[in-house]
Structure 1
Amino acid sequence: MTTLPAKRSVLRDTKFLRLWLATTASAVATWALPFILGLAVLERTLTVPGLGVVLAARIVGFLVAVPIGGVLADRYSRRLIVFWAGVLSLVSTPLLAYGWLPVMVAAAALLGAGQGACRPAFQAFTADVVDSEQRQQANAAMTFAVRVSTLVAPGLTALLATVASTSGILLGTCALWLIVVLVPPGGTSQVTRERAKFHREFLDGLREARRHPWFLAGLGALTLTAAVGQSSIAVALPLVSRDRYGTEAVLAAATTAYSVGALVGALIMARWRPRNQGWAAFGGLALFGLAPLSMLFPVHPVVIVAAFVAVGIGIELFNVPWFTATQREVEPAKLARVSSLDFMVSYGLAPIGLALFAPAINAFGLSAVLAACAAMCVLAPALAAVVPSSRHLARTPRSA
């Protein structure tokens, strides 16, 4: 095991700190939205079916905008794309607070589009403002902020609900999007290139992705693991918590443990550089199998909580070197497009797992489904690790 040599921390770099603040603001606003809308359901200003439609519209907007944002972020300044994506989210948020369902659905789609366009732009933006030697530390700081957001957003939303209306809280997220619009650094430039038609530029990004076998293998493993692993958390964990243990405390403790583990994983990856980073990353991803495996047997709740801590650590052991390798190996002029493919596939196919999970339980039983999920979560990363370039997440071997 090797650690990062002592040097000036990326956290002391003003440009990165501004980018980090904007990314964090975007993450908090994104994670808070479902909880804010949930409060609207409790207040009976929004129905449960209405909530589902609004959240679905946001997902659709996100998935449509991700590839568009990837092409535009490679075509124009990353800063410009982040700016306009933030503006789109900023102006659509008040419409979401309007209260009339058709307007809310349209606003949710626009808000999701702003969130989606930000993702590949932020990913490529990091490579623009951070030196290659410090990108792993930078990506660890980015993912740390996202994980803190998952912990802070629900509690902060509930706290604000004691002193403000749901509409007021929702409008308050405009301040977060204003940070996204105003705070990111400028001064980055890209090589001028001849621009083709939009679909040709997107296909060019796909061709770039195909040049990296480790990327395709890793994306496949990540997508399958996210689809079945996250589905086991979303569907099976509440059932196990209620039916086996008779309390929602196991559900709350396990989901919190997952986020805490992810924070620990981000801190580890800020310093640790494994010799075979690809194998270490896929090993971390395979730890996701502990989530369904821990729910398969009637164990003490502490075992489930410990398993979810390990799952959280493992996902960041994968995420940080994965993002870093993508920024290092992919041609800079195509980085946002390749990153958009990552987000589009891994996020876009995950709902399929959710849709199939409940029917699978009805057909085969909870135990059989959990066992199959655990096996897939382990086998998918193992198969991806067999691809020769996966050992170092690089087309050519790299020294440690």
Structure 2
Amino acid sequence: MNNTTTDIRPVAVDLRDERLQVRGGVRGTARGLVDRLRSGDLVAFPVVAGLIIIWTVLDTSNPTFLSSANLGNLAMESVPVGVMALGIVCVLLVGQIDLSVGSVSGLAAAGMAVLFVNQGWPWPVAVLAALTSGALIGWFYAQVFNRLGVPTFVITLAGLLSFLGIQLGVLGDRGSINIPFDSTLVHFAQTAYVPAWLSYLLALGAATGHFLRGRAHARERSREGLSAHPLRLIALRSGALLALLEFAVWYLNRARGIGWMYVAFVALVVSVHYVLSRTKWGRALYAVGGNAEAARRAGINVRRVYTAALVGCTTLAALGGVLAAARLASANQSSGGGDVNLNAIAAAVIGGASLFGGRGTAFSALLGITVIQSISSGLTLLSLNSAYRFAVTGAVLLLAVALDSVARRSRVSHGRG
């Protein structure tokens, strides 16, 4: 990685965008966006375009795919692995990897089920214990990485095998623990849906929050003497977001509506996005992923950043495992197994998180898991077996990494130019 170019490019792009916005307001902003695309800053447009193509093809093959009932189910099914992918994004931002999220999620699900069902603990305490176990695993990974210098690839690969064995031991001879259907956990993951009237208010609140945040950011930049998005552009964006969200809410409410679990997932994504983009800790993640040595010389505690990223990843993996068990009303030997691990990593990469570190957002997890779950749902409706799903998902993953590599070379070339 050309670290010098990585440090200079965002500044150059921001200055160029500012000049264009001063010249033409909305037109200048559009030109700035095109210029960013040409320089290799692809943002999320390839993912969104790919998702539109996938949905179009699948709906053409089976009109049931874009039905409100199927999309609502698709959203709920995407949450557990999506939460794990959100943790993977944090690790990828610092240029590391976690191959054990599937095993960690399975162990957390097994531990929660044993404490809640077999030991009779209250479900909030059982869930908290599962999340704590996930955090401790991430802390252990960080100690081995920071103190011994063992690559995270090796550490987490060992964790994948070890925690799978511990999961089997926790479940015991029965191999499966059923979670009561009348429990709050199962209700939340399966049958808890937002009332129609409230879903419209939530959409309005999201668009209003987007407008207020954009206006506040613009005023802050103006006070600092920097150019800012004009108020009419902010209002236009917020209005478009409101129209999109209200239409989505109306369409999903034609069936069961929007599940509370999916609303919680989106809220978690937005919260992590705020932390990554607006806090000192978030900026430190990007700095370490872009150039760890430069970040160290700038006074950032690099070891602490690595620790935070790994702890965040394994904690979210544990949360994803708990939600998966609640969704299935069961924790068993296959929890966290199969393609869960690879799908979580693939979702983060497909959504736009770079394997080279320093690039990606929390929305990468949301976009990526939507793509993967759409492929899975569409091929299931077409009565095609898993072989096709694996092949298509692999092809999409390869395409995403290829686009990232091309964009990275383009940024390097643009920076040198």
By the TM > 0.5 criterion, same fold? no
Q: Report the structure number with the largest CA radius of gyration.
A: 2
Structure with the larger RCO, 1 or 2 (CA within 8 Å, 6+ apart)? 2
Scaled by the length of structure 2, the TM-score of the pair is 0.29
